[in-house]
């Protein structure tokens, strides 16, 4: 359940009542406060605040769109749109055996390549590791990437993928929305897809957004 009004950092949200206090909120004794500007969400088990904006903070299991930033000896550095650079070890990027003495691994991934991968490790002081060894992870060819606020991605994907499927259908584009706020797309009517996505970016906190997007996309020829 989301509240009607946004909460400011420091504003009281609710009594804890044994619930888990997770991202965007903090507690002092029995009282739970907002720890970021956002929309408080609570149910019987958990209290959190969805930030309205903010940089991407990597979390294990997140599926992200990354851009290869550097080629090292035993892996690649990956820009995942966060204050922290991620590392893709050779063993997590390529399933065949590679002789690093003889092979220039840029033949697998080179600088500026776009990949869809998963965050596999986040240490306490934010050393990040990603992996491609899971279903869905792959190199993304062609297309373009745009940057949106990471916390709005869930809205862009929609319940059970409903929103992103709608946009894909109506625009005929392939779209992958990384949880890190990078959206990759490829197709003819990218302009319409971008328009829809930027609308969600600007108005994600407004009720009635789905109808507005449907209307916008029904005009696509």
Is residue 29 a contact residue for other proteins (CB under 8 A)? no
Is residue 211 a contact residue for other proteins (CB under 8 A)? no
Is residue 85 a contact residue for other proteins (CB under 8 A)? yes
Phi first, then psi: give them for residue 174, nearest 5 degrees. Answer: -85, 130
Nearest-angstrom CA–CA distance, 79 and 109 = 13
CB within 8 A of 210, min separation 6: which ones? 158, 163
197-205's contacts with Cβ under 8 Å and 24+ in sequence apart are: 197/146, 197/148, 197/156, 197/167, 198/148, 200/152, 200/155, 200/156, 200/163, 201/148, 201/149, 201/152, 201/156, 204/52, 204/152, 204/155, 205/6, 205/39, 205/52
User: Shortest approach of other proteins to residue 189 CB, angstroms?
Assistant: 25
Is residue 70 a contact residue for other proteins (CB under 8 A)? no
CB within 8 A of 162, min separation 6: which ones? none
Closer CB to other proteins, residue 39 or residue 78? 39
Binding residues for other proteins restricted to 113-142, rule: CB under 8 A: 124-126
User: In Å, how far from its chain's centre is CA 7?
Assistant: 22
Is residue 84 a contact residue for other proteins (CB under 8 A)? yes
**Binds other proteins (CB under 8 A): choice among 13, 32, 33, 128:** 33
User: Shortest approach of other proteins to residue 91 CB, angstroms?
Assistant: 25
User: Shortest approach of other proteins to residue 139 CB, angstroms?
Assistant: 25
Closer CB to other proteins, residue 105 or residue 122? 122
Per the listing, tokens 């959190």 go with 48
Is residue 54 a contact residue for other proteins (CB under 8 A)? yes
Is residue 35 a contact residue for other proteins (CB under 8 A)? yes
Closer CB to other proteins, residue 50 or residue 132? 50
Closer CB to other proteins, residue 124 or residue 159? 124
User: Shortest approach of other proteins to residue 83 CB, angstroms?
Assistant: 4
DSSP string, 175-196: EEE-TTSEEEEESTTHHHHHHH
Contact positions vs other proteins (CB under 8 A): 4-6, 8-12, 24, 26, 33, 35-39, 51-55, 57, 83-85, 124-126, 149, 151, 205-207
């Amino acid at each position: 359940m989301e509240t009607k009004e946004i909460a400011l950092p420091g504003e009281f949200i609710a009594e804890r009542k044994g619930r888990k206090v997770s991202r965007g909120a903090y507690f002092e004794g029995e009282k739970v406060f907002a720890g970021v500007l956002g929309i408080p969400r609570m149910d019987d088990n958990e209290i959190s605040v969805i930030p309205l904006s903010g940089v991407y903070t990597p979390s294990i299991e997140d599926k992200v769109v990354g851009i290869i930033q550097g080629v090292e000896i035993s892996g690649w550095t990956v820009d995942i749109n966060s204050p922290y650079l991620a590392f893709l070890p050779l063993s997590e990027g390529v399933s065949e055996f590679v002789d690093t003495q003889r092979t220039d691994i840029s033949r697998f991934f080179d600088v500026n390549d776009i990949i869809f991968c998963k965050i596999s490790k986040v240490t306490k002081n934010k050393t990040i590791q990603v992996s491609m060894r899971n279903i869905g992870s792959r190199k993304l060819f062609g297309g373009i990437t745009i940057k949106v606020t990471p916390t709005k991605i869930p809205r862009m994907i929609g319940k059970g993928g409903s929103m992103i499927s709608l946009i894909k259908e109506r625009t005929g584009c392939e779209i992958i929305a990384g949880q890190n706020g990078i959206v990759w797309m490829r197709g003819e009517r990218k302009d319409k897809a971008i328009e829809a996505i930027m609308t969600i970016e600007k108005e994600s906190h407004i009720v009635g957004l789905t109808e507005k997007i449907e209307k916008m996309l029904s005009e696509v020829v």
